[in-house]
Homo-oligomer: A and B are copies of this chain.
Amino acid sequence: MRSEDIAKLAGVSRSTVSRVLNNYPDIPQRTRDKVLKIIEEYNYEPNTSARVLAGKSTNTIGFFVVSLDDQDNMNRIYQNSYFAPFVDAIIDTANAAGYYVLVHTVYTREDFIKVKQAFQQKRIDGGIVVGTRKDIGMVREISQLDMPFVLIDYDISEIIENHLDKKHLAVINSMDYEGAYDAMSHLIDLGHSKIAFIGDGTSNTFSGAQRFEAYRTALMEHGLPLNETFILKGDFLKKSAYREVLKLLDQAELPTAIFSANDDMALGALEAFKERGIRVPEDISIVGFDDVPVAAQLNPSLSSVRLPIYDMSQAAVHKIIEMCQQGTSSFSTTSFPTKLIARESSKSTNAR
Contact = CB atoms under 8 A, between A and B. Distances in A.
A28 interface: no
Contacts of A100: 102, 104, 114, 118, 123
A49 B78 CA distance: 35
A49 B122 CA distance: 7
A278 to B, nearest CB: 14
Interface stretch (A5-13, A159-167, A199-207, A291-299): A291-299
A111 interface: yes
A262 interface: no
A252 interface: no
Contacts of A103: 87, 91, 101-103
A121 to B, nearest CB: 4
A71 interface: no
Contact of A53 (B47, B58, B91, B274): B47
A49 B52 contact: yes
B76 A92 contact: yes
A88 interface: yes
Interface string A63-98: 000000000010011101100110111011001000
Nearest to A101: B103
A121 B45 contact: yes
A225 interface: no
Contacts of A78: 85, 88, 293
Contacts of A118: 100
A228 to B, nearest CB: 31
A102 B102 contact: yes
A117 interface: yes
29 contacts: A43-B120, A45-B120, A46-B121, A47-B53, A47-B122, A48-B122, A49-B52, A60-B102, A60-B123, A77-B88, A77-B89, A77-B92, A77-B309, A78-B85, A78-B88, A78-B293, A84-B87, A87-B87, A91-B103, A91-B105, A95-B104, A95-B105, A100-B102, A100-B114, A100-B118, A101-B104, A294-B294, A297-B297, A299-B299
